[in-house]
Amino acid sequence: STQSTWDGVVYVVDCGFNKQKIYLPRPRVETLLVSAITKASAIQRAGRAGRTAPGKCYRLYSKEAFNELEESPIPDIHRSNVSQVLLQLLRLGQSIREFPFIDPPCVETTIQALHELKILGAIDDNLCLTNRGSQICLLPIEPMLAVCLLESHKDGCSEQIAAIIGMLSVPRIQVRSDRDSCNYSDRALSIFKHRDGDHMTLLKIFNFYIKACTGSLNGQIDRMTFEIERRAKEFCKKHSLHDKYMWQAVCIQQQLLRNMSRMGIPTPTLESTEYDNSGYSISIRRALCRGMFPKVAFTSEGIAYESVFDGNIFRLHPSSVLKGLEEWIIAHEAVITQRSYLRTCSIISKEWLREFAEGSLKQIVIQSDALKEKLRFLMG
């Protein structure tokens, strides 16, 4: 890491490349691209050698290649989804067109972000903040997840949705270091798999973590005591989980519920006892669909999924508990590695789409014959 100083490290080998997470606005996916570093990064890497003692940096590229590098990296605003940024600007009464950005986002990214906010009901046709948009601004999470949480009281599962958002907001909770430990980790987590998708699986892990700490699936952790910390670490070690990230998910859930209470929005909960009860799962997946419908996809040609709102073709990520046989799904994120994948997916019903997103579905530009047939059947 170029951000850390390690005692005793006096030699650094610089390959001249790094991986950058870049948001692609048209397909609305994130991808990790291997690209050449910048001169500023090269100097930063060289600075890791000899911080505490004389050292050397070995660069695996020529001086001519160094001179051709860009001076500084691409600003984060050029490679990120800016929907939250635009929402906060509108909350502050600023004009998106006239705001003096140091590095303004590209036009395509801005248009895509505004379109997303519009179909979520956060802004109106005049680019003015709506009441829902004002509420979304008070929640420190991405707008789609904020809508899920704000609407979750209608399905009586606000605490469960806040827990799922907490799990989605932390880095990967699973400990994976080498092939043997990966296989063990997968087996350790297999008991939490839920047939209805990855969101329910994450919730099941969260609730059993709470049970390990408090003795009850519906328990509450007010503060981290020595005994709770011991139980938490024991549970995480048994199931190959990061105890630090699990605790962060609990803190995020509690913060979101406090924010909801300040806004005067009720935060009902379901009894977390019967995960195989279809009504329990349906309530939670309905609440997720209320905000994540822009990321709905349907099965296409049996082995892949086609995104309804942009027509891109994806496969299920290998880490998903789903098998690719489900007709309609929602996905938390789309990523591109060697292939295009949908990650963290759950099964939904087409009737929910008709209920929550009928107006948005009517505005879709048809991308394929399969999508045209699906929408014709969906809209009746």
The pLDDT of residue 307 is 86
Question: In sequence order, which residues have a C-beta less than 8 Å from that of residue 177 and are 6 or more positions away?
Answer: none
CA–CA dist 308, 188 (Å, integer): 35
86-129 tens-digit pLDDT: 999 999 999 888 899 999 999 999 998 998 999 999 999 888 99
344-362 tens-digit pLDDT: 999 999 889 888 876 776 6
The pLDDT of residue 183 is 53
Is the pLDDT score of 54 beyond 60?
yes
Is the pLDDT score of 178 beyond 70?
no
CA–CA dist 356, 17 (Å, integer): 45
318-350 tens-digit pLDDT: 889 998 778 899 999 988 888 889 999 999 998
Residue 162 Cα to chain centre, angstroms? 14
- Of 379 and 134, more confident: 134
Is the pLDDT score of 184 beyond 80?
no
What type of residue is 161?
I
- Of 229 and 176, more confident: 229
The pLDDT of residue 138 is 94
Contact 298, 328 (CB under 8 A): yes
Q: Torsions phi, psi of 313, nearest 5?
A: -100, 130
CA–CA dist 209, 82 (Å, integer): 34
Question: In sequence order, which residues have a C-beta less than 8 Å from that of residue 188 and are 6 or more positions away?
Answer: 238, 239, 240
Token reading at 37 = 């570093």
If you count DSSP H runs as helices and E runs as strands, how many of each does the chain have, helices first?
A: 15, 9
Token reading at 109 = 């990214």
| Torsional class of 116: left (φ above 0), alpha (ψ -120 to 50), beta (otherwise) | alpha
The count of other CB atoms within 10 Å of the CB of residue 10 is 15
210-245 tens-digit pLDDT: 999 998 877 888 888 889 999 999 999 988 899 999
Is the pLDDT score of 251 beyond 80?
yes
Q: What is the percentage of the chain residues whose pLDDT exceeds 90?
A: 50
The pLDDT of residue 180 is 45
